[in-house]
Amino acid sequence: MATARGTSETPRVGVRRPQRASSRQKFDALIAAAREVFADDGVNGSLEEIARRAGVGIGTLYRNFPTRQALLEAVYVDEVEALARVADELGNLDPWDALAIWLRQFVAYATTKRAVVEGLNLDSPMFGACIALIHRAGEPLLEAAQAAGKARGDVDFEDVRLLINGIATSNFADDAQRERVIGMALDGIRTRN
């Protein structure tokens, strides 16, 4: 299976990950802190709180991310690239298991990205490149499950992506309810033997 990351260019954002190790650590800490703050408080979460959680000063945040938009895009791209890496790591599993594990990871990703997406330009080339990367990651998993006779042949990856987005944008009473709904969706994708 070709790797999702290797098949095309990764999405571009207005900031670059620093080369020096100490600077990369701060950059990565800012991304992680921003992910948490945006998930907790939405896209208008405090930049000062992000810097505090990352253990850096506000000046370091602005040196790495000159605008809130740049930070939002970097968090989003980081999440999409992590999702693509998961797909690459599942290549040796049973095709159905690989697809099911990845789709559960996709739901988790889509749930946490809801706040970030509010602040993104959905018509931007970066957003389009991220959707394309998700397709390049997920399509081979679906196709492998279909080739093994474990997933319905009458669905394509866009159908599956829309199904997962629908689950991810729902408000569940608790994690158990979300898992039941994911299970029902997987049952709808799986072939009946």
Which has the closest alpha carbon to 99: 169, 23, 186?
A: 186
pLDDT tens by residue, 91-149: 899 999 999 999 999 888 776 666 666 666 667 788 888 889 999 999 999 999 999 99
- What pLDDT score does 44 carry? 87
- What pLDDT score does 171 carry? 84
Read off the pTM.
Answer: 0.79
Mean pLDDT of 83-88: 92
- Where exactly are the structural domains of the chain? 21-189
pLDDT above 90 covers a percentage of the chain that reads 49
Identity of the residue numbered 192: R
- What pLDDT score does 123 carry? 72
For 175, half-sphere exposure in the C-beta direction (CA atoms, 13 angstrom radius) is: 2
Proportion of the chain in helix, strand, coil states, percent, rounded to 5: 70, 0, 30
- What pLDDT score does 97 carry? 96
- Going by pLDDT thresholds of 50, 70 and 90, the confidence category of residue 47 is very high
- What pLDDT score does 7 carry? 38
Rounded to an integer, what distance in angstroms lies between the CA atom of residue 101 and that of residue 92? 12
- What pLDDT score does 15 carry? 65
Do residues 39 and 115 lie in contact, with contact meaning Cβ atoms separated by under 8 Å?
Answer: yes
Which has the closest alpha carbon to 1: 154, 142, 151, 192?
A: 142
- What pLDDT score does 168 carry? 81
The CATH architecture one would assign to domain 21-189 is: Orthogonal Bundle (1.10)
pLDDT tens by residue, 157-166: 999 999 988 8
